Structure 1
Amino acid sequence: MFTEFKDTSLLKFIDYFDSDQVCLNYLAKYKHSKEYECKKCGHRHFWPGKKMGRVCKSCRYSESVTANTLFHKLKFNLRKAFYILFEMSTTSKSVSSIVMAQKYEITQKTAWLFMSKVRRAMSSSGQFSLTGQCEVDELLSGGKRKGKTGRGAANKEKVAVVIEKQGKTGVKRMYALRIANFSTEQLGRLFSKHISPEAEITTDLWSGYKPLKKVYKITSQKSDPGENFNLIHRCIQQLKGWLRGIHHSVSGKHLQGYLDEYCYRFNRHSSKDTAFDSLVQRMIMHPPVPKKMLDQLYCLST
C-alpha cells in the first residue's frame, strides 16, 4: 500500500527509499493518479508498459514514468535524484552543486543542471497572494564593488523582497524576485505576483512605491535601522548570507532559481516533514526543461 513519505529524518528516508524501484513506484503513484490520456494522439486507453510505464492502445506510444516531467532524461539513477531532492527540500541550507556532486558521485555540471531543474519546481505559482501585514524592501547581490552604494550601485543584481508578518516577531511567508531596476514597473512585478490588494504593506520612502498606492494599501516610513523593518532586514541578511556562504557566486541569469529555492524552504519551516513529498509532486507535474531553456525561463521581462 502506498504511503507518502512525511519526515525529515535521513535514516528513515534511507530505509524507505532503499532501491530505484521503490523510487519509481513512488513517482508512478502520483503520475498515474490522473486519468490516462496519450500525449501524442489523446487516446484514453493503455497497456501497462515496462518499469511502470504505459503504452497507448491506439498509436502504441510508450511513455515512461519519468517522461514529460522534470526527471526526463535523468543522467544518473533515480535513487540519487531522490536523495538530492531530500537535501534541497528538508535541510536548513542545502549544499552547492560541487558538494552535491562529490556526495553522489556525479559531475558538478550534471549536479548543477539537475538542481536547476529542481529549482524550477520550487518556484512559486503566485496563486496564493499575501493578505496580512507585509513589509517590502530591496537588496543588491554581487559582492563588494567600487563606485556608488545603495540603489545607485552599478553592475549588481537587484532583488525585491516581501515578507508576511506573523505576530510581532515572526515571519509567515517570504518571496523574492529578481528585478531589472528599482522602478515602479519592476517593483510592481513583485506586488502583482505575490501581494493581494487586501494586504497592509509597509515600505520605506523610495519614490518607486508611490504610484503603487493607487492599487495597494501602502504605508511609507523612513527606514531607521534598529527601530523599524527589523524583520525584513533580518530575512534579507540571512538570504544574502546563504548566497555567499553556500554558493559563493551566483550568475544573474540564474539568480531567480536560487531565490526560489531559498523561499521554498523558508515558507515550509513549520512543515518540513511534507516538503519532500510536495516537491516530488511538483517535479512530476512540471514539463521537462532542457538546459537551453533555463536562461529563457528566468528572463526579466516575464
Structure 2
Amino acid sequence: MLPSPSESNIIEVFTKFPDQETCISYLEHIRWQNEPICPYCESKKNTKRKGTIRYQCNSCNRSYSVLVGTIFEDTKLSLNKWFFAIALILNAKKGLSSLQLARDIGVNRKTGWYLQMRIRKAMDEGNDTDLFNGIIEIDETYIGGAKGNHSKGKRQDRRDSGRNITGMQHKQPVIGLLERDGRLKLQVLEKAHGKTIKPIIQQTVSPDASLVTDGFGGYAGLDKHYKEHQVLNKNKEEYARGQYHTNTIEGFWTLLKRGIYGQYHKVSIKHLQAYLNEFTFRYNHKDSKTNFDILITKMILP
C-alpha cells in the first residue's frame, strides 16, 4: 500500500507508480480486490483482452476496464501523472497553483487546472452523515477580506455581505464548523444570516454537542437546539472562556486565506466551494497515513 505523501518523499510516490501498468494494478486492487466485476451487469465472469487493460464480460458481452464510471474514464493523460498530481496536492498545505502543478508534472496550464478540479471533486466530503460531537467551534469568514483591523473589518464585511463594493473585491461569506480534535466542514453562504447558517449547523452537529461562537446575531437561538452554546463577546476582548474558544477555526482561516491569496491569488465564487473542499479534505485527513488511498478510493468507486 502506498505511503501517504505527508509521510514519505514525493519522489517515492512517483517511483512507486512509474507506468500505466502499476497504476492500473493498484486501481484494480482498490476497486475490485483484484477480482474484476463488470460495471454493466456486475458479473464476475470475464476474459482478459490480451495486450490491453480491458476485460470482456462473458455474461453481457460488453468490454470494460477498471476506469469505467470513474473520474479517470476517457482521460488522455497517463495515470502515473494523475497519481503524481494527487500526491503533490495532498502534500501542499497551502494549496498548489495550476501553473506550478503543470510545471511539476509536465503538462500545460489548462490540463493542470482540469486535473485540480477533478481531484477537488473527489475531495468533497459532503456525504458524511456522522454528526459532529463534543466541542464545536463555529465561525464565519469572508473570502476577499477587508484590510486593516480584523474585528472591525469582519463587522463591515457582515454588513456588506453579498454586494459588490466600489473599489473593493467582492466578498463571499463562508461558514466553518470545526469539531475539536476532529473534522472540519466549510460551506459557501449566499448571505451570512441565521436563515442560511442555522440549517447547516443543525444538519452537521449533534444536539448533544457544545457550540462555541462569537456574538454574531446569526447564531442567536442555537441554545434551544443544543446541549450548550457558549457565546464569546469579542467586542469586549473575550476570546476564551476556559476550554471554550474559537482559536482553532480562526487559525485555520489564516491558513486558508494564505493559500487562496498566496497560491491562487483569486478564486471565483463559482469554484470557491471546490477550493474549500480541497482544504477540508487535507485538514480532515492530516493525521492519516492512508490519505492517498482514501482519495483514490473516492475517485475510483462510482
Q: Map 1:146-225 to 2 at 5 A.
A: 149-153=156-160, 154-155=163-164, 156-166=171-181, 172-217=182-227, 218-224=229-235, 225=237
Offset at 1:151? 0.5
Instruction: Please give the per-residue CA displacement for 1:71-129, whole angstroms capped at 9, x wherever unaligned.
Output: 12213111100000111123323411111112222222222122111111111132232
Determine what percentage of the aligned residue pairs are the same residue: 29
Q: Give the letter for the 2:261 counterpart.
A: R
Q: Give the letter for the 1:282 counterpart.
A: K
2:94 — aligned with what?
Answer: 93
82-91 or 185-194, larger mean C-alpha shift: 185-194
Structure 1 SS opposite 2:40:
coil
Q: 1:68 to 1:135 in 2, by over 3 A?
A: same
2:120 — aligned with what?
Answer: 119
1:133 — aligned with what?
Answer: 135
Q: Give the letter for the 2:133 counterpart.
A: T
2:260 — aligned with what?
Answer: 243
CA contact (8 A) 2:172 2:269 kept: yes
Q: TM-score, normalised by structure 2?
A: 0.82
Q: Give the letter for the 2:17 counterpart.
A: F
24-33 or 76-85, larger mean C-alpha shift: 24-33
Q: TM-score, normalised by structure 1?
A: 0.82
The unaligned stretches of length 5 or more in structure 1 are 167-171, 288-302
41-50 or 9-18, larger mean C-alpha shift: 41-50
**In 2: Cα distance, 1:47 partner to 1:247 partner:** 47
Offset at 1:55? 2.2
Structure 2 SS opposite 1:149:
helix
1:277 — aligned with what?
Answer: 293
CA contact (8 A) 1:126 1:193 kept: no
1:77 — aligned with what?
Answer: 78
CA contact (8 A) 1:28 1:52 kept: no
Structure 2 SS opposite 1:233:
helix
Q: 1:62 to 1:174 in 2, by over 3 A?
A: same
Q: 1:269 to 1:141 in 2, by over 3 A?
A: same
2:64 — aligned with what?
Answer: 63
CA contact (8 A) 1:160 1:178 kept: yes
Q: Give the letter for the 1:127 counterpart.
A: T
Q: Give the letter for the 1:269 counterpart.
A: K
Instruction: Please give the per-residue CA displacement for 1:23-56, whole angstroms capped at 9, x wherever unaligned.
Output: 1111111121397654434545322246443322
The unaligned stretches of length 5 or more in structure 2 are 148-152, 165-170, 241-245
46-55 or 236-245, larger mean C-alpha shift: 46-55
Q: Give the letter for the 2:29 counterpart.
A: K
**In 2: Cα distance, 1:34 partner to 1:16 partner:** 18
**In 1: Cα distance, 2:290 partner to 2:238 partner:** 35
Q: 1:80 to 1:189 in 2, by over 3 A?
A: farther
**In 1: Cα distance, 2:23 partner to 2:34 partner:** 19
1:45 — aligned with what?
Answer: 45
Q: 1:78 to 1:92 in 2, by over 3 A?
A: same
Q: 1:161 to 1:132 in 2, by over 3 A?
A: same
1:262 aligned onto 2:262: no
Structure 2 SS opposite 1:138:
strand
Q: 1:22 to 1:38 in 2, by over 3 A?
A: closer
Instruction: Please give the per-residue CA displacement for 1:217-249, whole angstroms capped at 9, x wherever unaligned.
Output: 322232255733333222212211111111111
Higher-Rg structure is: 2
1:227 — aligned with what?
Answer: 239
**In 2: Cα distance, 1:103 partner to 1:49 partner:** 34
246-255 or 173-182, larger mean C-alpha shift: 173-182
**In 2: Cα distance, 1:211 partner to 1:54 partner:** 58
Q: How many residues align?
A: 277
Q: 1:189 to 1:52 in 2, by over 3 A?
A: farther
**In 2: Cα distance, 1:261 partner to 1:205 partner:** 29
Q: 1:11 to 1:109 in 2, by over 3 A?
A: closer
